[in-house]
Structure 1
Amino acid sequence: MSSSQEISEIFYVEAEKLESDINDALIKSHWSVSEIVSIYYRTMNVNSIVSMLKQLSDSSSEASSVTFKIEEVKKTISEKFDSNLHLSIMKQLADSIAETTKKLSSGNDMEKSKEDIETEAKLYEELRQTMSTKEFVEQYDKGLSNA
């Protein structure tokens, strides 16, 4: 089996998983950090595989049997992910950061109980995680504007 065939097989599996993940995510209105990271990694992975397959098909004289699937997946990523899901996730992350920041800044400066301190620490951790995820998602966004 050639490396081109192996990459094609991986592409078919990953493309199916991505399409399923995107369709599942579109049904929801809120996503966990792990769901967000997972779908972005899968999207970037499929985009990378598409690039490799294109390079392989450009260097070979035979017509690629995966060309139709590549176009189908690119359309799904563009129409469902980039133009819809990605924008919703960006909004969710921005709203979550604003809401958590507001909660943290509205806390009083009076003496705090152990529970108050633990709750505040959890909010700071949530904020850090959400900001980190937003930064990761923005890297994808920058890739879109450079494409």
Structure 2
Amino acid sequence: MPKPPPPSSRYWKLHRQLARLNTFLFRKTGGKVGGSFFGGAPVLLLHHVGRKSGQRRISPLIYLDDSPRLAVVASKGGVDANPAWFHNLMAMATTEVELPGGERRRVRPRVAEGAERARLWERAVAIYKPYASYATYTERTIPVVVLEPADTTPTA
């Protein structure tokens, strides 16, 4: 099956504009608007810092509640590269996410492996079917990132 061509720069510009709009609506309405994606998949706002630019960034991402953890899927990067937010996130020890309703959590990222990844991937595809079709035309294994609660208690 031939691979589709990589998205154009026009596509990525539109993608960034829609992400900014989603973030604005999410915050303005407490997640009532922008708190879910097509088909009702829940969305959180991931805070990260650009590795090269050092600029603060916010990415709206579909997530799974795997209490007390959360999980996100590093899907739309490129045929052979993970998305920039994934690399930024993995370079950080901890960060913050915003959930619908205004809840904020400090989290620590790690990549799920083996049976845990398989279980979370199956759940992610169940709430957002395009993940499965995207996986068929990328050359990479799409990472599932577990966002563990970050310990915020001071150490002695």
Answer yes or no: same fold by TM over 0.5. Answer: no
- Computing the radius of gyration over CA atoms, which structure comes out larger, 1 or 2? 1
- Which structure shows the bigger proportion of residues in strand conformation? 2
Greater RCO, 1 or 2 (C-alpha within 8 Å, sep 6+): 1
Going by fraction, where is helix more abundant, 1 or 2? Answer: 1
